[in-house]
Amino acid sequence: MARRYVSIWFRFLQADYCALRQPALRSGPFVLASPDHGRMMVRAVNAAALQAGIEAGITVADARTIYAAVEVRDDDPALVDSLLQRLAAWCIRFTPVSAIDGAEGLLLDVSGCAHLWGGEAAYLHDLVQRLQQLGFTVQASMADTIGAAWAMARFTQHPTIVPAGGHIEALQGLPPEALRLEPATTARLRQLGLRRIKRFLSMPRAVLQRRFGTHFLLRLDQALGTATETLTPIQAPAPFEERLPCLEPIVTATGIEMAIEQLLTSLCKRLEQEGKGIRQAVLKAFRVDGAIEQIAIGTHRASLHVAHLFKLFALKIDQVEPALGIELFLLEAVKVEAVEPLQEKIWEGSGGLDDTGLSELIDRLSNRIDINQIHRFAPAEQYWPEWSFRDAPALHGRLPDAWSASRRRPLTLLYQPAPIQVAAPVPDYPPILFRYKGQVHNIKKADGPERIEQAWWLQTGEHRDYYVVEDEAGKRYWVFRSGHYDAHNKTQWYLHGFFA
């Protein structure tokens, strides 16, 4: 696919921004100035000041000589970079590759983007019109090379689209300044009578290099497309990204849902061809007023299931505020992983950690609530109940150890054993009833005791005799007596867990 670039020139960038903040400045000429070696120097001017004959680089005193009533405002050196950064980020709605070009411009790689607007003419017109509506004086052009687009944006009167392959012809009538050369080089070219690019375009390269240096040849080759020139985007485009511009601004939740479903279908189709699936995805909604709404989802296993991914986004659609309308949706797969197809087992039932349904259930829960509220426990090589488990490294990870099935353990273990009042016929027998939180539980069945000792290198507490007991309602509990029976200690029994 042939490359296409757009160069945008903000001729009065700082002045336009100041006029937006102080509309009264639009009524006449004004300049931005800053001190330099004891003199106030003009750094930027507005269109009216330029028309009056005031240019950047002269002193404020000279500016007032040219136009006595000129307004003077303090210049902010950091303003230009901040403005260009924000404008470059705004232009991402037109292309994923947006870069800053010097102190007055932007460069966009628009290859493969114009068809979304119905053609290059409609694309460039919409881009320029939108920037003008924001309050900026803009000149823009589109061409096959960065150098040609830059030249046409600054040395033509109107937004220009150079046809594919026509950049060499378009450059020939422009002055040498259009090649982004140093002032000394352009002055020398003019002294030699080379006032148009076509005058030296066919001259021997050895002669040009000897007279004007290698940098001159590099700029010429970049404009002609024989030397490579790359952009440094403010935001690196994601390798897996889908864009959906809207013919009319979207303001309803139904419209947002339709956009998400269409984007997911396209993105998952691309990922499937690469053998990858989505782990993390971000949806960005570019609003008409320039704001960007954003929601994100995550999965615990790489997924290409469009319906499942859509449900995760659907949980967060109410967080998207369309305001006056959304004009562009961008879906980005921030993190992808290889999709490993699972071998189906005919003779074994479904379920287990490899079950896709389990993974998708956890995805829905973790995107609805905090992921830290979902836990998976793994066995630890400890007999003491409080230390016999640990957090698993991942919900879908393999565990090096398996739970022991020799002894039954409760599904829910209290963080701290709760004291209970117990009635037992014989000290070493299981209780016949116990009271917990004011409720009496009559025991119908019991199994035990199972004695658990402290680790020999600790020995900081009494041993425990555990019993599994079942009350009249069929509920089972894990209770224990701490230490040996003591007739004078009435709180030595504890409830430690609940069975399902």
What local confidence, expressed as pLDDT, does residue 342 receive?
53
Check: CB of residue 60 under 8 Å from CB of residue 51. no
Amino acid at the residue 206: A
Preceding amide of 449 cis, omega within 30 = yes
Query: What average pLDDT does the segment 422-426 reach?
Result: 82
Separation CA 52–CA 54 (nearest Å):
6
What CA–CA distance (Å, rounded) separates 411 from 385? 12
Task: Tell me, yes or no, whether 156 and 251 share the same domain.
Answer: no
- Per DSSP, the chain holds a count of helices (H) and strands (E) of 14, 21
Whether 40 is in a domain gets the answer yes
Domain for residue 381, yes or no?
Answer: no
> In sequence order, what are the beta bridge partners of 390?
378
Range of lowest pLDDT (32-46, 208-222, 227-241, 463-477): 227-241
Give the tens place of pLDDT for each residue, 151-162.
999 999 888 999
* 188 and 330 in a common domain: no
Contact 332, 281 (CB under 8 A): yes
Query: Can you give the pLDDT at residue 387?
Result: 73
Tell which of 315, 338, 361 closes a domain. 338
Within a domain: 144: yes
Number of domains in the chain: 4
CA distances (Å), origin 416, targets 11, 387, 495, 496: 71, 12, 9, 7
How far apart CA 302 and CA 148 sit, in angstroms, is 44
412-419 and 421-423 strand pairing: unpaired
The pLDDT of residue 351 is above 60: no
Q: What's the pLDDT at 145?
A: 95
Q: What is the CATH number of the domain that holds 27?
A: 3.40.1170.60
Per-residue confidence at 291, pLDDT binned at 50, 70, 90?
confident
Tokens of 192: 């030699």
454 and 489 housed in the same domain: yes
Q: Which residue has the tokens 């392959």?
A: 165
Please identify, among 133, 161, 189, the residue that sits at the C-terminal boundary of a domain: 161
370 pLDDT above the threshold of 80: no
DSSP state of 482: E
pLDDT tens string 109-142: 999 888 888 899 999 999 999 999 999 999 999 9
Q: Quick one: tokens of 295?
A: 């929601």
Q: For residue 132, what are its two tokens?
A: 């003008």
- Residues 130, 173, single domain; the answer is no
Q: What region, left, alpha or beta, does residue 97 occupy, with left being phi > 0 and alpha being psi -120 to 50 degrees?
A: beta
- Residue 359 pLDDT class (50, 70, 90 cuts): confident
Instruction: Please state, in angstroms and rounded to a whole number, the distance separating the CA atoms of residues 426 and 254.
Output: 69
Neighbour tally for 365: CB within 10 Å:
13
413 CB burial (10 A radius; 0-12, 13-18, 19+): middle
CATH code (residue 211) = 1.10.150
- Phi-psi region for residue 208, left (φ > 0), alpha (ψ -120 to 50) or beta? alpha
Give the containing element (helix H, strand E) for 273. Answer: helix 253-274
Task: Say yes or no: 131 and 179 in one domain.
Answer: no
Amino acid residing at 112 = G
- Most distant CA pair in the chain, distance: 118
In a domain, 346, yes or no: no
Indicate the residue among 338, 353, 373 that finishes a domain. Answer: 338
* Structural domain contains residue 14: yes
- In this structure, is residue 91 part of a structural domain? yes
Question: Which pLDDT does position 225 carry in this prediction?
Answer: 92
Q: Is the Cα dihedral 392, 395, 400, 403 positive or negative?
A: positive
The CATH number covering residue 330 comes to 3.30.1490.100
* pLDDT > 60? residue 205: yes
Same domain, 123 and 60: yes
Asked if 48 and 154 sit in the same domain, the reply is yes
Q: Convert the pLDDT of each residue in 376-387 to its tens digit.
A: 777 777 777 877
How many residues does the structure list for the chain? Answer: 500
* Residue 494, pLDDT score: 92
- Write down the pLDDT at residue 386: 78
Give the pLDDT confidence score for residue 70 in this predicted structure: 92
Give the per-residue pLDDT at 347: 47
Domain identity same for 323 and 192: no
Tens-place pLDDT, residues 457-491: 766 678 889 999 999 999 999 999 888 776 666 66
The two three-digit tokens of residue 30, written as one number = 């004004």
Crossing angle of helices 13-21/79-90, nearest 10°? 90
Residue 266 near residue 336, CB atoms below 8 Å: no
- Same-domain check for residues 17 and 106: yes
Half-sphere exposure of 432 (CA within 13 A, CB side): 5
For β-strands 71-74 and 30-36, DSSP reports them as parallel
Integer CA distances (angstroms), 235 to 90, 98, 123, 238, 336, in order: 11, 7, 21, 9, 19
Q: Is the pTM of this model over 0.75?
A: no
For residue 428, pLDDT over 80 is answered with no
**pLDDT tens across 268-285, in order?**
999 998 889 998 899 999
Kindly state the average pLDDT of the residues 251-256: 92
Q: How far apart, in whole angstroms, are the C-alpha atoms of residue 233 and residue 88?
A: 9
pLDDT of residue 166: 93
- From the list 386, 439, 409, the residue with the least C-alpha distance to 499 is 409
Within this chain, do residues 129 and 196 fall inside the same structural domain, yes or no?
no
In a domain, 392, yes or no: no
Q: What are 75-95's pLDDT values in tens digits?
A: 988 899 999 999 999 998 899
| Whether residue 394 has pLDDT greater than 70 | no
The pLDDT value recorded for residue 354 is 60
Full domain range(s) for residue 272: 241-338
Summarised one tens digit per residue, pLDDT across range 295-336 is: 998 888 888 999 999 999 998 899 999 988 999 899 999 888
Please state the φ and ψ torsions of residue 374, each to the nearest 5 degrees: -105, 125
What pLDDT is attached to residue 411? 83
- Exposed, middle or buried, 84 (CB in 10 Å: 0-12/13-18/19+)? buried
Give me the helices (H) in 345-398, please.
356-368
Q: Radius of gyration of the chain from Cα atoms?
A: 37
CA distance 54 to 60: 9
Are both 41 and 57 inside the same structural domain? yes
Using the predicted structure, report yes or no on whether residue 264 has a pLDDT greater than 50.
yes
| Residues 75 and 23 placed together within one structural domain of the fold | yes
Cα–Cα distance for residue pair 183/109, rounded to 1 Å: 28
Residue 346 reports pLDDT greater than 50: no
Query: Using CA atoms, how far apart are residues 240 and 258, in angstroms rounded to an integer?
Result: 20
**Residue 123, domain member (yes or no):** yes
Mean pLDDT throughout 338-362? Answer: 61
